[in-house]
Each structure stands twice: as structure tokens, then as C-alpha cells.
Structure 1
């Protein structure tokens, strides 16, 4: 029994030695304190928690670097700064892509002018349609007004009054559309003017993404219908 215990103890000791040899060796931490002292340890050095620490191998070669330890507030500020820097990089990349796409779409001023003319033509067509519709409505109103003359000083029949009100509402709606198209023409021209000013700089050699953001005018929301039109 004694010999068996000795054999087990020897075997266990050998396994422990092998396990210790197989385990990776600890790094050597070294740093310089704020007052100039050079410290070395087999674990992170408390005196240098606010400073960078070099982690060395046993042969003195550098394995890695241990950054300064941060307080929760410092860590939060650092992460916020990193997020902002990443957002700024993405915004810069987007600006470069947009400028390159703009130059690719409009390689010269003639191409840009053709696009402007096409956009203006659409708005002008819509405005002419409204103007023609108003003329038609006025022609439709003429016999209604002639009939209303017979009731001067008297209440109009319900049907006739309803037709006149509907005609008024339709004319008013078309007039609103015309005003909207006029505003749209102004917006289109302003947007193309801003684009052209930017393009001229890019055509002249300004690097994409280095100009201020291009803020094109937004389309005005459609006005709410009048009470007459809603009826």
C-alpha cells in the first residue's frame, strides 16, 4: 500500500510539472511613472494605471501595449468621441460619393441645362393644363349665370346654386394649383442654380467631398383645400 501511494504521488508530481511547463509564461509589464521612475512587474503596475504600459516577453521583446485604464466617465467620453469620429467619416464618404455621382450625371453645363429645361417643362405643362381648365369652367359658368339672372332679387333654386358653388370651388382649386406651379418653378430654378454653382467648382478641380453640404430647396407642401372646394 505504501509503494502504491508513493507511485501515485510521483505520477501526480510529474503531471503538475508538465502542466506548469505547458502553461504560457506571464508577461513582463514595464512603464515610466509621472515622476520618471521606471517600474517593472509580472502584472499590471498600479502606479501606471493612468499611463501606457508595455508588455514584454521573457526575452525582452515587446508583446503588446496595455492602454491606460479609464474611469467610467472617461470611457464614456472616449466611446462617444469614437462614435462621432465614425459618423464623421461616414458623412465624408457619403459627400464624396454624392459629388462624384453629380459630376457623372452632369459632365458639362449643357447636360445640366437640359435637365433644368426638362424639369421646368413639366411644371409649365401642369400650369397650362390648369389655365385651360379655368377657361373651360368659365365657359360652363356662363349659362349658369344667365339662368341666375332670372332670379335676381330672389333665392336661387337649390340645384342652380349647387352648380354655381361647385363651379366656384373648381375654379378656386385650379387657381391654387397654378400658384403652386409658379412656386415650383421658382424652387426648381433655385435648386438647379445651387447645383450649377457646385458643379462649376467640381469641374474646375475641387476635390469631391470638400465643399459645404448642398441643401436643395424642398418642395412646398400642398395647401389645405378651401371650404368651398371641400364642399
Structure 2
């Protein structure tokens, strides 16, 4: 059923057409309705209010194209669909751009394997340094604990400097443990990223190889 807003615009179009002098009303309207019927009339066609109509000159050439009439709600829906299409097109373009960049960065699997190894080696070096510092702190803790043996019967008599050393050592060991844990997490994230890239790269490398084979095929004949 036609909405009142669309009908109003349609009848406005017909009224405007009726006010044109008779000698100028020689155009013919034509369209194909929703059931596939081709309709021709000497005035705007109500069955085609929701679709494009063409006004023809007496010679049969197109004088103008009459756009569909839409309500505010219909127009909003069309605009929303257009936004969705634009967003999808932008997503596809961005994905293709990333694919091209990935192929430029990793033309072969050897390059990808090498970069992964380098990235992991850097993290391992940082973890190794942190573990070395942790070993030093553990040794320091052993020395502090040994000094505390003198005050085992009454720890309150331990000098403040020794208490501060113990507290600082405890905080430092906690910090180092958290840092090592964070680096282990970063190592897992880096490996996951390279794994994800490798899945995509295998697909892209395969497509490249197929394209080269297809391009080289005529030359073999």
C-alpha cells in the first residue's frame, strides 16, 4: 500500500503536470512496475511511484528521468543502506591495503620466519636480563636473612637500615616477577600475531603463485 507522504508527492507531480500548457504536455511516461509489466501513460504512473520513470519526447527519446517518491522513513532507510554499503566498501579497501602491505613486508615464508625469530629473541633477551636481576635479588635476600639471624630472638632490635634493605628487596623481587610475567605474555601475543599473519600469508602467497602460473601458461604453448 502506498504511504500518504508518497501519494502526496505523486499527486503534487500530477498537479504540476496538469498546470503545464496543453501544447507542452506532449511527453509520454514509461516504466516497468513491480510485476514486470511495462506501462506507458501520458501522465506520471502511480504504479511506478516507488521506482524510476522516464518521460519521453514524441520522437521516443528520453526527455527526463523522474526519480521515485520516498517518504521520510523510506529515505532514511535508503541513506542507512548507503552508509552500510560505504562502510563495507571501505572495509574491503582497507583489507586489501593491509594484504598488499603484508606481501611487501613478507614476500616469502623465510622472511616471515626470520622476523618472528628476531622479535622473540629480543623478548627473550629482556626476560634473561630480568631473571639475572632476580637471581641477584635472591642472593641479596639470602645475605639480609643471614644478618637477621642475629636478631632472631628479638627482630625489633634489627637496625632500620636492615629493615629498609629487606623491604626494598621484597618490592624489587615482586616488580621483577611481574615484569617477567608481562614479558611472557608479550611473547605469547607476538607468537599469536605471527601465527595469524602466517595463515593469511599462505593464502596470499598461494593466490600469487596461481596468478603467476596463469600468466605463464600461454607462453608455454
Per the shorter chain, which TM-score range? 0.7 to 0.9
Distance 1:48 1:191, change over 3 A: closer
Matched with 2:169 is 167
Runs (4 or more) in structure 1 with deviation over 6 Å come to none
Q: Any idea what SS the aligned residue of 2:183 has? A: helix
Distance 1:29 1:122, change over 3 A: farther
Matched with 1:28 is 27
Q: Which runs of 5+ in 2 are unaligned?
A: 1-23, 210-221
Q: Any idea what SS the aligned residue of 2:42 has? A: strand
Shift of 1:59: 4.1
**In the TM superposition, what are the counterparts of 1:176-191 in structure 2 within 5 Å?**
176-191=178-193
Aligned mates of 1:201, 1:32 — CA distance in 2 = 47
Aligned mates of 2:26, 2:115 — CA distance in 1 = 67
Q: Any idea what SS the aligned residue of 1:68 has? A: coil
Matched with 1:226 is none
Task: Give me the TM-score of the superposition, normalised by structure 2.
Answer: 0.72
Aligned mates of 2:128, 2:63 — CA distance in 1 = 77
Matched, 1:97 2:108: no
Matched, 1:79 2:79: yes
Residues 28 and 57, structure 2, Cα contact 8 Å, conserved in 1: no
Give deviations 1:173-197, integer Å, cap 9, x for gaps.
1111112222222222222112112
Residues 30 and 40, structure 2, Cα contact 8 Å, conserved in 1: yes
Task: Give me the TM-score of the superposition, normalised by structure 1.
Answer: 0.69
Distance 1:55 1:206, change over 3 A: farther
* Higher RCO, 1 vs 2 (CA within 8 Å, ≥6 residues apart): 1
Distance 1:169 1:33, change over 3 A: closer
Matched with 1:118 is 118
**In the TM superposition, what are the counterparts of 1:149-228 in structure 2 within 5 Å?**
149-154=149-154, 155=156, 156-205=158-207
Q: Any idea what SS the aligned residue of 1:30 has? A: strand
Q: Give the superposed CA RMSD.
A: 2.5
Distance 1:27 1:204, change over 3 A: farther
